[in-house]
Structure 1
Amino acid sequence: MDFDFTDEQRLLKDSVESLLSDQYGFTQRKAAAAQPKGWSEPVWKQFADQGLLAAPFAEADGGIGAGPIETMIIMEALGRALCLEPYLTSIVVAGGFLRHGGTDAQRAAYVPSLIDGSKTMAFAQLEKHSRDDLNDVTSTAKRTGAGYILDGQKYVVWHGDSASTLVVTARTAGSHRDHKGIGAFLVPADAPGVTVKGYSTQDSMRAADISFAGVEVGPDAVIGNPENALPMIERVVDEARIALCCEAVGAMDEALKITVEYLKTRRQFGAAIGSFQALQHRAADMFVALEQARGIAMYAAMATELEPGERSKAVASAKVQIGRSARFIGQQSVQLHGGIGLTMEARIGHYFKRLTMIDSTFGDADFHLKRLAALGGPLAA
């Protein structure tokens, strides 16, 4: 199996890394976080101009028609730079719903504005008691005439306070943990009955708690089958998990580089602390954890088009390893920096925070280990 990038993929990697190295230093990231949306609109416009926002969409919809490897390359670069922009939520997740379940009319209405960066979207799925179970949905979508009325509450909607449109999961039938009877709906964020409460998260990202009270949507708001959208939701979320794994690899790679550089320059007892064998062993263990994570993330990215059962095994395996590697590398990075690693002024602490949040998003390592066991393990018997 050939794991080398094509010439086009190398060009993409070089261009996105060059853009971020020029536009996304640590000081610039702090300035972006202080903006009203919590991210930089000029940087987002540059993403659009460079074609990053068009990457996963089909050429027929105005996109580039790139595949999961290209998404992996982009997400790894975003992780290395600790980008705050809503690429995951707007392009990978919301865009995934449009790609896998959207009608021609829906794609024509929403994809162009996603590609040019003029609008963003967010995924409203998590509820108070649902944790990581995608089928645990209590928000309701009651049919009224040709349309639906939505009621319920969603929590920790990533970038939900800056999105113009929300992809909302709601129950059209059955009890709150049934796998059938779940639909996905396109809801304008400014629709009557929608209340958005935004806030900053621990990793300097933005999220929102959103309530829906008698929100009316038409039949054109339904994505896919309103009675059985869970398979589509699972596919989109698995793709989001893969993207998160790739982002984590970029963040871990940069955290290791920062830590090794610190070991070379920090002096104690008359010598650079990197000359101490015990600390060299720690750095070597971090490198091993990084390479394990990189390999499993690439494997998961290449498994995107497999049958749902095999795809789920690959994604769960990746999430387990990524969670373990992220925790180990994050903890070791902060420890090797000493007390300064815990300060807001030190870059390394921000990488540890982001890695911790990536682990917990869409299921942490423990959740996916149980999921993997329920699926029969990573390999067929």
Structure 2
Amino acid sequence: MDFQLNEEQSMLKDSVRRFMEGNCSFEKRGPVVDNGSLESLNWQQFAELGLLGLTIPEEFGGMNCSAVEAALVMEEIGRSLCVEPYWAVAVLASQTLIATRDPKVSAILQTLCLGELLAVLAHEEAAAHGDPAHVQTRAVALDDDRWRISGEKAAVVGGNVAELLIVSARTSGNDGDEQGISLFLVDPKAQGVERRDVRLIDNRWASHIYLRDVEVGRKNLLGAVGMGFGAIRHGLEHATVALCAEAIGVMERSLWITRDYLKIRKQFGQLLGDFQSLQHRMSEMLIELELSRGMLHYALSSLGKGSSIRSKALAAAKAHIGKSGQFVCGQSIQLHGGIGVTEEYVIGHYFKRMTLINSALGSSMHYFEKLAELERAPA
């Protein structure tokens, strides 16, 4: 895999960076956060730039780009601390919809590309602990054309502004089985759907979704009954890589902000950047950043390969990047001192975002354990 950016990729990266710096900077995020972390004008510009349909096939109105281009966008989102639900809508939800191969998703994807629909995946549950096959939400068939869904979905990112929920529910089997999981389209305003919005520590919003005897028809079913896990896994794989890319942007910006701070802050009449021990610490942070960048490339290169290779690569990347990101952003706080933990100063917000990235879709410790299990499994 060639990791040198071509001309189109470089132009994409530059244009997204300019857009983020002009519209999604830290100084401008306050009103956006208060509005549920969604600014309609910004979201429409996302659509006009083609970012919402970046990896969606052309037949659905997208640009048919690869995960590499999505990673470039996510890296810039990480650098700017953009709080818009781009990851939840344009990566996780869209990739899950594409993988269902259901004809009815065509219209959904087209409106998603235009910024006219906010769809999110409601899959994660409190008892899952990072296991994507652990689904306790149940969908009971009332007849050949109707189901009744009951259950809870935890911390659905972007759920507070979602106009359409893609809900995973078990139609057969036990809680941890991959078979027997189905996907349903659910209107968040439907009878029996209750939403509790929560503001996360990084100033993004998520929702706990409660489904109490929500009735849906056959038109709401995506794909075949009990065969939804493949689409979920596809969406989660792309979402994991996107999170890793965002983490690179968070780490890189955190590192350079800290470098600039050490160049101007004095202690004992001497610039902090002149202390050799702090130079060594900055070197360690840079090493961890570049190692993490290599792990991102490893994860990207695995997406077109077999399931076993993908699972190992993604587990290794998420584990390493989560651990390294916590180290880099944590050291940034240490090198800033007391100002680093104030709400008004930006560096603490990079640490908070990295903490959420590390815990999203499973922590680094979860993936280290998963990687060990995969290594012990027979070939």
TM-score (norm 2): 0.97
Match of 1:30 in 2: 30
Match of 1:121 in 2: 119
Asked if structure 1 preserves the Cα contact closer than 8 Å seen for 2:97 and 2:231, the reply is no
Q: Where does residue 49 of structure 1 map in the other structure?
A: 48
Q: In structure 1, how many angstroms separate the alpha carbons of the residues matched to 2:76 and 2:287?
A: 20
> SS of the residue aligned with 1:264?
helix
Match of 1:104, SS state, is coil
Deviation at 1:89, TM superposition (A): 0.7
Q: Per-residue deviation at 1:377?
A: 6.9
| The 10-residue stretch of structure 1 (117-126 or 71-80) with the greater mean CA deviation from structure 2 | 117-126
1:154 Cα offset (Å) = 1.1
In the TM superposition, residue 233 of structure 1 has moved relative to its aligned partner by 1.3
Paired with 2:247 and 2:152, the residues of 1 have a C-alpha distance of 29
* Matched letter for residue 128 of structure 2: S
1:340 equivalent in alignment to 2:339: yes
For residues 79-122 of structure 1, give each alpha carbon's deviation from its aligned partner in whole angstroms, at most 9, with x where no partner exists: 111111111111111101111114222222x1122111122112
Farther off after superposition, 122-131 or 331-340: 122-131
Residue 343 to residue 6, structure 1, CA distance change in 2 (3 Å): same
SS in 2 for 1:375: helix
User: What is aligned with 2:4?
Assistant: 4
Distance 2:301 2:239 in 1: 14
CA distance in 2, matches of 1:8, 1:349: 34
Cα distance between partner residues in 2 of 1:350 and 1:187: 34
Q: Does 1:155 align with 2:154?
A: yes
Residues in 1 aligned to 2:246 and 2:47: alpha-carbon distance in whole angstroms: 19
Match of 1:350 in 2: 349
Residues matched between the structures, number: 378
Residue 343 (structure 1) shift:
0.7
Structure 1, unaligned runs of 5 or more:
none
Aligned-residue Cα RMSD (Å) equals 1.5
Cα distance, 1:236 vs structure 2:
1.3
Q: In structure 1, give the amino acid aligned to 2:125.
A: E
State how far apart, in whole Å, the 1-side matches of 2:317 and 2:210 are.
33
Distance in 1 between residues matched to 2:44 and 2:183, nearest whole Å: 28
Identity of aligned residues (%): 37
Residue 299 (structure 2) aligns with: 300
> Structure 1 runs of 4+ off > 4 angstroms?
none
Q: Which amino acid aligns with 1:23?
A: N
One-letter amino acid of the counterpart of residue 53, structure 2: A
Q: Give the match for residue 66 of structure 2.
A: 67
Q: Point out where structure 2 has 5 or more consecutive residues left out of the alignment.
A: none
- Provide the rounded CA distance (Å) in 2 between the counterparts of 1:130 and 1:226: 21
Letter paired with 1:309:
S
Distance of 1:51 and 1:249 partners within structure 2 = 23
Is contact 2:252-2:289 (8 Å) kept? yes
SS at match of 1:346: coil
Cα separation, 1, equivalents of 2:115 and 2:355: 28
Match of 1:283 in 2: 282
Asked if 2 retains the 8 angstrom alpha-carbon contact of 1:68 and 1:302, the reply is no
Equivalent positions of 1:209-288 (< 5 A) are: 209-288=208-287
Task: Please give the alpha-carbon distance, in whole angstroms, between the structure 1 residues aligned to 2:61 and 2:306.
Answer: 28
Provide TM-score, normalisation by structure 1: 0.96
- How far residue 4 of structure 1 moved from its aligned partner, in angstroms, is 0.6
Report deviation, 1:176.
Answer: 1.7
Deviation at 1:300, TM superposition (A): 0.7
Task: Find the aligned partners of 1:102 and 1:144 in 2 and give their Cα distance.
Answer: 25
* Cα distance in 2 between the residues matched to 1:226 and 1:353: 39
